[in-house]
Chain A
């Protein structure tokens, strides 16, 4: 089991950032790497257990299931059901916390997963920097003051 953790500060109030990211079907709206997304079975995107099926711009298809959605804690947790990445038991959380000093947002995004030992470094890098940091950078860009 390895853990990847990335955090950043976004120059916007947490409720505004949360409004942008709470839509489990909304990755194409704010990430630069997702081309299109739909929720399987026509479920609501905030129904716990729903599955988002999305296609990356590089062509890969990923299915992820919503495990936790908290409007109170500004937190979303999900697992990967299928992906081309070669990871097992992948659970990830995206969480926002208000920074009262400056009315900004502390954003954390982390994942825990299993993979072949020789791929740990490469996956930690590609997920931490290629996904989480790129996603948070995109949010910082959206909310640049």
Chain B
């Protein structure tokens, strides 16, 4: 067995030296013998057990595993897992000690390993001189040039707190049509107090995005990124965030806009952890529409077995969920759709009587389907064009729930027109129902349970690269899509 020991004094405080050396992947930045290096599986470089895979400048490939890391002792121990070098049982320890006399750092680097007989001298030199002594010089130069202060995770910051991360995303350059959506490089700052930074893997597209893009809902000032819904993995969290941890799979559906990006820093309060049975794309497709269906069916109006429910745009994103879930609750579901093909889809999701209408005239068909009684509750995402027929087909004591205005804003409705049927008109907004975390958790939890139990099925047919968001908007507005759309960063 060979033992190689090298040590040096570095003219910098131990905190500064350790901030570099505790990062198991930092050697690519400061060691002159190391080429490319990465931590396998994207693990954090201070996670014990993580593996760095790197090339040496001489072409050799090495995989090393972090065995021990101690911040109070300033010790890092690692071993070679495999290498294109004839070295066996290589275990090395880096230890730093403070030189109190001058506030410098003593760096001790030692390893033991075996090599083929007769090559001990050669490897003592390669490791001792090439790796350890070369490393001392490399780190000295790195610190002298202040490169550690420029790198992310500078020693002034807490471990794990990195600076800005590069991101890419779709911004609204001006209010207008799909052409105002532009794909641009962005950056995601380190999360502040109460914030989380998420590497997003799937982004949901919703009709509200169209309203925001067009300027109908003034939720952003251009240029700014669009979008309300996404799923991904937590990179880091800011101070005071206790319900999320780095590595958690998460999703959200909430204002303010900004979801059409690859890495996002945002308020953590509206972000929920995903259960294993809900994959990222499903979450991005279901959070906003599924939580909308949940509150519409359980909170704005409590649908009961035997109710007659009229769902407009029954083959749309929210419409399909309303059909499935209302059916599971024992209601009888009637729907309106624009094409025969959408009628088939709505029927396949529990809509017993889909009515095909392109001009939003459906009163006659609903009366026929209900024996003249009408609907106990109407879920209306259409707005202006459907208003007259809605009032006409509402059953006595019925509830007209107007949660969207795809055909234009509702015009003023005289209160007497509701009196005529003892009707109730609601104008609910999802984000009011999810504003408090306990309610958010309950609503999201019920959506995840409905997915698990099969009461909600997601038929995801429309996937677009994030850069093609404008195309996704064109398809959505042209009513050429059925069910959810997601963008993939």
> Which chain A residues have a beta carbon within 8 Å of chain B's beta carbons?
5-9, 97-102, 104, 106, 108, 133, 136
Residues of B within 8 A of A106 (CB): 7, 9, 97, 99, 106, 108
Taken together as a complex, chains A and B put the C-alpha atoms of A125 and B101 apart, in Å, by: 14
Residue in chain B with minimal CB distance to A108: B97
Nearest CB on A from B222, distance (A): 58
With contacts A99-B106, A101-B136, A106-B106 taken as known, whether A5 is within 8 angstroms of B6 at the C-beta atoms is no
A4 to chain B, nearest CB (A): 10
Indicate which residue in A6, A100, A101 contacts B101 across the interface (CB closer than 8 Å): A6
Q: In the complex, A136→B99 CA distance in Å?
A: 12
- Selected from B8, B98, B100, B128, the residue in CB contact (under 8 A) with A99 is B8
Interface string of B95-139 (1 = CB under 8 A from A): 001111110101010000000000000000000100001001000
Consensus secondary structure, chain A interface? strand
12 intermolecular pairs with C-beta atoms under 8 Å apart? A5-B98, A8-B101, A97-B108, A99-B8, A100-B8, A100-B128, A101-B133, A102-B9, A106-B7, A106-B97, A106-B99, A108-B97
Task: Report whether B6 and A7 are in contact in the complex, using a CB–CB cutoff of 8 Å.
Answer: no
* Interface residue ranges of B2-46 to A (CB < 8 Å): 5-9
Q: Which residues of B contact A97 (CB under 8 A)?
A: 7, 106, 108
Q: Give the interface centre of A6, A98, A99, A101 by most chain B CB atoms within 10 Å.
A: A101
A7 engages B108 (CB within 8 Å)? no
B100, A9: Cβ atoms closer than 8 Å: no
Known: A100-B6, A101-B7. A9 touches B101 (CB 8 A): yes
> Do A7 and B98 touch (CB < 8 A)?
yes
Closest beta carbon of chain B to A110's beta carbon, Å: 10
Given A101-B6, A101-B7, are A136 and B97 also a contact pair (CB < 8 Å)? no
Give, as a whole number of angstroms, the nearest-CB distance from B24 to chain A: 23
Q: How far is the CB of A12 from chain B (nearest CB, A)?
A: 14
Q: Are B7 and A9 in contact (CB under 8 A)?
A: no
Our pick among A8, A101, A104 for the contact of B100 (Cβ within 8 Å) is: A8
Which residue on B lies nearest to A110, using beta carbons? B100
Is A7 within 8 A of B100, CB to CB?
yes
Q: How many whole Å from B6's CB to the nearest CB in chain A?
A: 5
Asked, given contacts A97-B7, A106-B9, whether A136 binds B101 with beta carbons under 8 Å apart, the answer is yes
**Complex Cα distance A26/B363, Å?**
109
| Inter-chain contacts of B99 with A (CB < 8 A) | 7-9, 106
Q: Which of B5, B100, B104, B108 contacts A5 (CB 8 A)?
A: B100
Overall SS of chain B's interface = strand
Please state if B8 and A9 are interface contacts (CB–CB under 8 Å).
Answer: no
Chain B, interface size category, equals 10 to 19
Q: A98-B7, A100-B6 are in contact. List 17 more A-B contacts (CB 8 A).
A: A7-B100, A8-B99, A8-B100, A9-B9, A9-B99, A9-B101, A97-B7, A97-B108, A101-B7, A101-B8, A104-B9, A106-B7, A106-B9, A106-B99, A108-B97, A133-B101, A136-B101
By a CB distance below 8 angstroms, the chain A residues around B136 are: 101
In the complex, the chain B residue whose C-beta lies closest to that of A109 is B100
Contacts of A108 in B (CB 8 A): 97
On chain A, the residues within 8 Å of B8 by CB distance are 99-102
Considering the complex of A and B, which 9 residue pairs feature the smallest CB-CB distances, nearest first? A101-B8, A8-B101, A106-B106, A100-B6, A99-B7, A7-B100, A7-B99, A100-B7, A6-B100
Known: A101-B133, A101-B136. A7 touches B7 (CB 8 A): no
A106 vs B101: C-alpha distance in the bound complex, in angstroms? 11
Q: Tell me how far the C-beta of B126 lies from the nearest C-beta in chain A, rounded to whole angstroms.
A: 15
Complex formed: what's the CA distance from A131 to B400 in Å? 87
Q: B406 → chain A, closest Cβ, in Å? A: 71
Minimal Cβ-Cβ distance residue in A for B99: A7
Q: How far is the CA of A6 from the CA of B98 in the complex (A)?
A: 9
Q: How far is the CA of A20 from the CA of B158 in the complex (A)?
A: 43
**Residues in B whose Cβ lies below 8 Å from that of A5:** 98, 100
Residue of B nearest to A106 (CB): B106
Bound Cα distance A8, B97 (Å): 10
Rounded to whole angstroms, the CA-CA distance of A106 and B96 in the bound complex is: 11
B6's nearest neighbour on chain A, judged by CB, is A100
State the CA gap A5–B136 with chains docked (Å). 25
Distance in Å from the Cβ of A74 to the closest Cβ of chain B?
A: 13
Roughly how many angstroms separate A97 CA and B99 CA in the complex, as a whole number?
Answer: 12
Instruction: Write the chain B residue with the least CB distance to A104.
Output: B9
Kindly provide the distance from the CB of A107 to the nearest chain B CB, expressed in whole angstroms.
9
Query: Taking A7-B106, A9-B104 as contacts, is the C-beta distance between A100 and B97 under 8 angstroms?
Result: no
Kindly list chain A residues whose C-beta atoms are within 8 Å of the C-beta of B106.
7, 9, 97, 99, 106
Task: With both chains docked as a complex, state the minimum distance between the C-beta of A117 and any C-beta of chain B, in angstroms.
Answer: 24
A99 to B104, CA, bound (A): 13
Q: How many Å from the CB of A133 to the closest CB on chain B?
A: 7
Using Cβ atoms and an 8 Å threshold, which residues of chain A touch B100?
5-8, 133
A5 to B101, CA, bound (A): 10
The CA-CA distance from A136 to B100 in the complex, in Å, is: 11
The answer for the CA separation of A5 and B5 in the assembled complex, in Å, is 24
Tell me which residues across on chain A come within 8 A of B101, comparing CB atoms. Answer: 6-9, 133, 136
- Complex CA gap A9/B9 in Å reads 8
Which interface residue of A98, A99, A100 has the most chain B CB atoms within 10 A? A100
For B102, the chain A residues whose CB sits under 8 A away are: 8-9
What residues of chain A lie closer than 8 Å to B104, measured between beta carbons? 9
Complex alpha-carbon distance, A8 and B99, angstroms: 5
Given A7-B106, A9-B104, the answer on whether A99 and B97 have CB atoms closer than 8 Å is: no
Q: How far is the CA of A86 from the CA of B6 in the complex (A)?
A: 41
